[in-house]
Amino acid sequence: MNRPLVSPASEKDDKAFQELIEFFNETLGFCPNSVKTMYHRPAIAYAFIELNKAVMENKGRVTSALKRLIGYISSNVAGCRYCQAHTIRAAERYGAEEEQINHIWEFRTHPAFSEAERAALEFAVASSSIPNAVDELISENLRKYWNDGEIVEILGVIALFGYLNRWNDSMGTTIEDGAVESGEKYLKEKGWTIGKHR
């Protein structure tokens, strides 16, 4: 794509829109262009924000950092470079250990990951694959470490990023400088590039 399918909205006089921007400035350091694009139909942007808040709210042992690592794995499987950079940036901002960020694709064997984290990340790989690859072995392993509510939280993250992966790859959303910085810092050695998200 030579340019995004739809450019981000820029209603500077809209107070509600500016509040959305402030919310993301606190969480990512910038407001994602994806949300600004959704804002061409404000109800979609607001519904997304509410879903995002509900999914990312911590109710138990599924930490903010782990949720962002799950989002990264899911986005990587889907191939969305925009979301890969966003989730690795968010993982860093929400306290993921540098060892985990640097060895995310070695989660099956690297000592920085617990067995519970491995089960969640393996589930993220399987449930983000097309066709879906969640089987009895993956399900049983997930149930061994996480309760029903926690599994709902984990799948909520994966499903949220399924939406975002489709949105951003189809839209060709322009990636923000902060996300580029994180992508180049953590993912470039593994082949990450901006791709269509110029």
Cα-to-chain-centroid distance, residue 158? 8
Q: Per-residue pLDDT for 12 more than 80?
A: no
Mean pLDDT, to the nearest integer, of 62-89? 97
Separation CA 108–CA 95 (nearest Å): 20
Residues in Cβ contact with 195 at an 8 Å cutoff, skipping those fewer than 6 apart = 81
Show the beta-strand stretches assigned E in the chain. none
Contact 32/86 with Cβ under 8 angstroms?
yes
pLDDT single digits (tens) 103-120: 999 999 999 999 999 999
Angle between helices 42-56 and 15-27 (to 10 degrees): 30
pTM of the complete model: 0.94
Topology of the domain covering 14-198: AhpD-like (1.20.1290)
Residue 11 backbone phi and psi in degrees, to 5: -70, 90
Q: Per-residue pLDDT for 47 more than 90?
A: yes
Contact 196/172 with Cβ under 8 angstroms?
yes
Q: How far apart are the first and last CA of the chain?
A: 9
User: Within 13 Å and on the Cβ side, how many CA atoms surround 73?
Assistant: 30
| Residue type present at position 137 | L
Separation CA 73–CA 92 (nearest Å): 14
Domain boundaries, the chain: 14-198
Q: What are the structure tokens assigned to 5, written together?
A: 């399918």
| Residue type present at position 36 | K
Name the band, by pLDDT with cuts 50, 70 and 90, for residue 77: very high
